[in-house]
Amino acid sequence: MNFEHTEDRRMLADSIGRFLREQYPFETRDKIVKSHQGWSRGHWTQIAELGSVGALFGEADGGYGGTGFDIAAVFEQLGRGLVVEPFLGTLLVGRAIAAAGSDAQRLKLAEIIAGNCVAAFAHGETDAGYELAHVATRAERKGDGWVIDGTKAVVAHAEAAGLLLVSARTSCDLADEAGISLFLVPAGTPGVSMRGYPVIDGGRAADVTLEGVVLGADALLGKTGEGFGVLERAVGAGIVALAAEAVGAMDAAKDATLEYLRTRKQFGVPIGSFQALQHRMADLLLEVEQARSAVINAAAALDEPDRVQRERTLSAAKFTVGRVGTLVAEESIQMHGGIGMTWELPLSHYAKRLVMIDHWLGDEDHHLQRYVALGRSGREPALHTTNSGLGSTEEA
Amino acid sequence: MDLNFTPEDEAFRAEVRAFLESRLPARFAERVRAGQQLPKADIVQWQHILNERGWLASLWPTQYGGTGWNPIRKFIFDNECALAHAPLVNAFGLSMLGSVLIKFGTEAQKRHWLPRILDGSDWWCQGYSEPGAGSDLASLKTSAVRGTDAEGEHYIVNGQKTWTTLAHYANMIFCLVRTDREAKKQQGISFLLIDLKSPGVTVRPIITLDGEHDVNEVFFDNVRVPAENLVGEENRGWDCAKYLLTHERTGIAGVGHSLAALGRLKEVAAKLRKNGRPLADDTSFAARLARVEIDLENMKTTNLRVIATVAAGGAPGAESSMLKIRGTQIQQEIASLDRRAMGPLALPAIGEACEKEVDELAPVVPADGAFAAARYFKLRATSIYGGSNEIQRNIISKTILGL
């Protein structure tokens, strides 16, 4: 039993942390968020060059990490720095290619790992909520290739992406796990249009419409109709990432609030001397440590072969950071009082990110229900056998 | 990062499991599983069984007859015992007084008292709280005045202790007493060992809201205590009390007991019917159950993080306060779900539960749930005793947050 990161992982985390403190202070981040692009390719490239993207993938896939703890170590730093650049999409799409990609498609993965290609995860749809299997976008065979029609909602960094991963239904009914296929769609493919907008927690997203998008046979990622397992494994990595990012942001919000309690005076004394606030802060600390434990559990479970056990632990973590992140955000604002309501205070942006992390890849309600449903499926004979057929993510 | 135990620790776990399978009497496990208090004789018998194996004093070094385990071994042992529904041993002697004697006692005191704890000659209880000294423990008033008579140096003790758990099982009590009225609060307190059979001691039961007799009042009326029963220096008893609060508390979260209670609750929820369907399928019940299960898994990892720090030579500081708060919240939530699971069947009140076998109780109540409501009420105490959860928050805010 050991709860320390390896030397390599600590060094990587330290260098990302140092870079962000020096080169990505709040004023810089604020300028980036308000810019037309909504992210900074310069900062993205520099953070990637530190090794942050390579750490997200195993050696067999051209990276040098790839375990849950590698992902967690990187994203915890990104959370502390409140980074808006497109790391999550890169992770999600990259992991999907690593799991199911052909040799040709894996060349694209090398570009992604090198930081030369931004990738976006174009999966969610307006009526899907957080349900991973809900895919209405359709792909029909046309000759050797495919034609895709549908709309993907709130795709993070879609406008910046050189490559989109698009899910589409090739068979079965609307919310079936079977019958989902995945496609790699290069930016600028005819028939792809976007309506972009800034998102409230920083960065940009877009609704992506695909109208008669014609793709070659080589665009299909993995086997026809078997995309769900690939999605689930990629999203699992994404959950570890977001949960670790949330803990990094919680630490920053907690530190800022604690500092404020020590320095802000009212009635002639620091407000931290009031028991009403001390007890709330003590509870906050306790909850943040629980969230940290949940991330450790999830990172350890990411490569667990037993699906029910793995996915339950991942859902438990996303549920926990959803609940705790929102609590930390709300309590931090409240304990700051009026100043916590202002744009100029970095804390308020941490609070926004913490609350909105609950809106990416499933919120606390979704994951609590999923946790229960998975537990039930574990008790009864499996009704659906989703065999992801993945083996490439299991380096130690 | 590695959440796995070493192969040696896993082998130890298997050894503990095998021991419990062969040596834990089934009737003890049944009573514990049902949430019943065991009679003293049963606990003493269980302590004998553990002592034969050398596993009774899990916090003591081997030179005093303890196991010498590190906190990881202790965690594994406690968890396995809890999951097997083994009775709790008397922590007042084995964990609390034993640790204090080993740290602050004289060689003579250690040689006299420690073996008597191991072989069951003494059953210890704890005299800390007083009617006027609860969370503000240092305001205690029970007085001990030093004097000399024909038989030698002694203290004369007057005052009252309360909430004394299982004093009616005990023959000995360790007390915090005031030996200097002039000194500042914490500085005039001493740590004294008192024979409950001494003239002038009266033990009176306090019946708690679940109808049970677990706690007592203990009165001292001019009780003569030999001076050699002072542990540590006179007026430095608070050091002993604080030592208990900050050391050896890595087990305070009660992970094993909550895992056992949750396992039992899940079995109950799978069997019980609500409107003809398994209770486990009820959406709101299932969600609450899932929440507490997730909280428990998170806390287990938090607990292991603290244990790993201690095993590596660090000190468990105010982290034990976090574990105490969350641990008791989880225990209370599971007990609350236990009660709710029974629905209307939680209502029958079954008195003198300890005297009857579980299946003789009430015909309509499944044995699993006979004590659900009483247990729920009993467990309200967990967030009050051992330093209330509010006091724990004070400790966190002072020690960790520096507020």
pLDDT digits (tens, 9 = 90+) for A364-377: 999 999 999 999 88
**Cα–Cα distance for residue pair B396/B321, rounded to 1 Å:** 7
Query: Does the beta-carbon distance from A273 to B400 stay under 8 Å?
Result: no
**Cα–Cα distance for residue pair A44/B209, rounded to 1 Å:** 63
Measured between beta carbons, the chain A residues lying within 8 angstroms of B284 are none
Tokens of B295: 């909280």
Question: Which residue numbers of B have CB closer than 8 Å to A's CBs?
Answer: 1-6, 9, 72, 270, 280-281, 286-287, 290-291, 294-295, 297-302, 304-305, 307-308, 322, 325-326, 390, 392-394, 396-397, 400-403
pLDDT score of A389 more than 80? no
Structure confidence at residue A26 (pLDDT):
97
Q: Is B130 designated active site?
A: no
**Cα–Cα distance for residue pair B275/B244, rounded to 1 Å:** 49
Query: Does the beta-carbon distance from A293 to B301 stay under 8 Å?
Result: yes
A146 reaches B (C-beta below 8 A)? no
* Angstroms from B311 CA to nearest CA on chain A: 10
Tokens of A317: 């973590």
Query: Does the beta-carbon distance from A278 to B401 stay under 8 Å?
Result: yes
Tokens of A15: 């260098």
The share of chain A scoring above pLDDT 90, in percent, equals 94
* Angstroms from A87 CA to nearest CA on chain B: 23
Q: What is the mean pLDDT of chain A?
A: 94
pTM summary value: 0.93
* Angstroms from B400 CA to nearest CA on chain A: 9
Which residue in the list B130, B212, B248, B319 is annotated as catalytic?
B248
In chain A, positions 6-35, which contact chain B (CB-CB < 8 Å)?
6
Q: How far is CA B59 from CA A40, B105, B154, B191, in A?
A: 56, 16, 31, 20
The pairing of beta strand B189-195 with beta strand B172-178: antiparallel
pLDDT digits (tens, 9 = 90+) for A344-362: 999 999 999 999 999 999 9
Structure confidence at residue B367 (pLDDT):
66
* Angstroms from B277 CA to nearest CA on chain A: 14
**Cα–Cα distance for residue pair B253/A76, rounded to 1 Å:** 27
**Cα–Cα distance for residue pair B90/A168, rounded to 1 Å:** 63
pLDDT score of A195 more than 80? yes
| A261-266 long-range contacts, CB within 8 A, separation 24+ | A261/A335, A261/B403, A262/B402, A262/B403, A264/A337
**Across the 403 residues of chain B, what is the mean pLDDT of every consecutive 10-residue run?**
93 98 96 87 97 95 94 94 96 94 97 96 96 93 96 97 96 97 91 98 96 95 98 96 75 91 92 88 94 98 92 79 95 96 84 51 64 91 92 93 91
- Do the Cβ atoms of A165 and A221 come closer than 8 Å? yes
Structure confidence at residue B247 (pLDDT):
62
Which of B9, B72, B322 shows the shortest C-beta gap to A289?
B322
pLDDT digits (tens, 9 = 90+) for A268-285: 999 999 999 999 999 999
Measured between beta carbons, the chain A residues lying within 8 angstroms of B1 are 2-6, 69, 296, 299-300
Measured between beta carbons, the chain B residues lying within 8 angstroms of A258 are 401, 403
- Compute φ and ψ for A369, nearest 5 degrees: -65, -40
